[in-house]
Amino acid sequence: MPLVVVGVSSDGWDKARGFARIVKLIDDSSTLSRAVLEGSDNDFAAYREWLQALKPIAEAVDQESRELKAQVGQSNQTPPMVVELETATGQLDYVLPLSLEETLSSSEVGELLSPSGNPNRTLAKRRRQSNELLGIEISGHYRYPRFQIDALRRCIHPVVAYANSEMESSEDPWGTLDWWYTPDRILGGRPVDLVIAGELTEEAVDNTLAFGSHGMS
């Protein structure tokens, strides 16, 4: 009776075949190692022959591992989220430059910023309205990019609050979000990455805002 497997996607079979090829290559290397070493009294020449014979197998394992890792990474990627924005020139389908997993809810922000660690939804709202904290409205709820919060010190990164204030983030949240996640020639990268690396300064913010532009028009 033929074997029938139900519910396994082609992607799953690709991964399984990748694992199987790696196991087979490792098994081949073990067999080859025993044959060479046992048949040559473990002398130096046999050891060198063993290394030379294992080299292509090791390279093949490395290649299979890279391909399998790429397959797993691609399959785990979350499709980008698209929101519809009303602009002065009409409707715009805006692709979010971050996933929802990279954002916080109002309650989570309140909990992180509260000295007591208790949830406080109004805290996020006050910080958003004062242009210290960027919040974007998605499906009727505000989400806050996680990079803005220094969880250890329970505060908004000072340079983040400064930049948001300079851009009046509550008036133009989507333009501000776009600025944070767009590579900047003056900064040499995305502002968000510089914040995470602890390299963004208020002077750098002033320079890039003075010579560039931001906002959704």
Task: List pLDDT tens digits, range 151-198.
Answer: 889 999 999 999 999 999 999 999 999 999 999 999 999 999 999 999
Task: List pLDDT tens digits, range 114-154.
Answer: 888 777 879 999 999 999 999 999 888 999 999 999 988 99
Q: What is the pLDDT of residue 181?
A: 96
Q: What is the pLDDT of residue 36?
A: 54
| Angle subtended by helix axes 158-166 and 202-211, to nearest 10 | 20
Q: What is the pLDDT of residue 25?
A: 56
Q: Which residue, chain included where needed, has tokens 């785990």?
A: 76
Of residues 107 and 118, more confidence is placed in 107
pTM flag (> 0.85): no
Task: List pLDDT tens digits, range 58-87.
Answer: 666 666 666 666 655 554 556 677 777 777
Report d(CA 14, CA 19) in Å as an integer.
9
Q: Where in the chain does DSSP place strands (E)?
A: 82-87, 90-95, 103-104, 136-138, 141-145, 149-150, 155-156
